[in-house]
Amino acid sequence: MIKRLALICCILLLPTIAAAEGNTDYGDFWVGGQLGGVFTLDRNLTVTGPGFEFTNNVSTDAAFSMGAIVGWNFWELYKQPWERYSQARAFGVALDFQWNQFNQSIGSGNQFSLGFLARAQLPAMVDETFPLGRLIPFIMVGPAIVWTNSDFKNSTDMGVVTELGLEYFIYPQLSIGPSFRYRHVFGPYSNFQNVSIDQVDQFMFLARLGYHF
């Protein structure tokens, strides 16, 4: 687990290495908070024993979610501030922490996740007032560690996160916007003893407020 995390961190730091070599300039550091709803697909629970196998449906309630995110975007050198984003097609990295309720038909609990995300975006409406672009569609993709605490069982699992969103700057340093996030969790409780449960597919609809330094 530690070796995998070290490899992930090295990959996400590649843009920083490029910046040190002079290919990119110092970029945009930003922080944000988000909240929204989570919808989890039903799963099958299978219990096996000597001479029998029993399968039952496990449902999960629609839930509330909230979290925080920090990120860094990069751009090219030697351009006017309002030209950098429009010509560089900015990219970046982000560290995301998210909590959500996780109330199932087999037990209630919570989930916590830490995501290591790469980000690509295509800024639009760039001018001197909004050098980062005023309207920014983006995509973020990366691995995540997901901790599940439940009456049924606790577990720590790896996951994959994909997020599509839109940022709109109401002020040069303040942005708001919706996003849609898909998270696949390789677990929880995928296999233990004589019980197995399908992996988790979750869909999140989030609203984010961001501040850009």
| Burial of 76: CB neighbours in 10 Å, binned 0-12, 13-18, 19+ | middle
Q: Are strands 174-185 and 191-192 parallel, antiparallel or unpaired?
A: unpaired
Distance CA 11, CA 51 (A): 48
Residue 51 CA: distances (Å) to CA of 20, 48, 55, 73, 128:
63, 8, 14, 57, 73
Domains identified in the chain and CATH numbers = 2-212 (2.40.160.20)
Structure tokens at 102: 């996780």
Residue 189: predicted pLDDT? 65
Show Cβ contacts of residue 193 under 8 Å, excluding neighbours closer than 6 positions.
none
pTM above threshold 0.95:
no
Residue 25: predicted pLDDT? 45
Distance CA 7, CA 136 (A): 29
Residue 8: predicted pLDDT? 52
Mean pLDDT by 10 residues, the chain (213 residues): 52 45 58 97 81 81 97 67 53 95 90 96 83 88 94 88 96 94 84 71 97 90
Q: Is 13 helix (H, G, I), strand (E, B) or coil?
A: coil
Residue 24: predicted pLDDT? 40
